[in-house]
Amino acid sequence: MATTETKTVNGISIPPAGRWEFDRAHTAFSFVARHMLSKVRGQFPEYDGSVEIAEKPEDSKIVVELNTAAVTTGNEMRDGHLNSGDFFLTERYPTIRFESTGIRIGEGNEFEIDGNLTIKDITKPVTFRAEFLGWGPGMGETTMAAFSAKTTVERADWDLTWNMSVETGGLLVGKKVDLEIDAEILKAE
């Protein structure tokens, strides 16, 4: 049953405290990387995780584990290369993990999510700039909320250093990667 409990931050109604689960039909964990002159987009469609919304929103927690073997860019050969030792070494490191360490409330509906990102057993701090998109009754008897978040990371920080020079000058793969989250979460009963 949808809840009508209301609390506000910066004049914006926020969802009730409790455990929330990602709605798999409306959530994407994706990345954008430079490939020569263009950009390649990919997703991790298989994941586990949850959001714990605290009474004080800044105490909320987000945990996500992405299945690296499921990475998809729309190109089987590229996906296989991403799973090889040149990149994720999926056989040895089957997951990418993000665990938040803090939430910082910004202006309006903006906030920042600080956390630790672990790829290939290397853990580094990252900060996602995020936007709260709202909450309310979902389909059926659910309560839903939505947010989007983005950060840019250096591949080399996680030993993702494979590259090659191209004839036109420069490198085949950009050194930076944008990580993006578009999430719809559902209140767990």
Q: Determine contact, residues 62/113, Cβ cutoff 8 Å.
A: yes
Domain count, the chain: 1
What is the tens place of the pLDDT at every residue in 66-83? 999 999 999 999 899 999
Task: Write out the residue range of the structural domain in which residue 174 sits.
Answer: 7-187
In-domain check, residue 81: yes
CATH code for the domain of 39: 2.40.128.110
In-domain check, residue 65: yes
In-domain check, residue 2: no
Neighbours of 74 (CB within 10 A): 10
In-domain check, residue 82: yes
In-domain check, residue 1: no
Q: What is the pLDDT of residue 172?
A: 55
What is the tens place of the pLDDT at every residue in 144-171? 999 999 999 998 899 877 556 666 666 5
Contacts of 81 (CB under 8 A, 6+ apart): 87
Q: Which two tokens stand for residue 118?
A: 């672990």
Spatial separation of the C-alpha atoms in residues 39 and 20, rounded to whole Å: 33
In-domain check, residue 38: yes
Tokens 């997703």 sit at which residue? 43
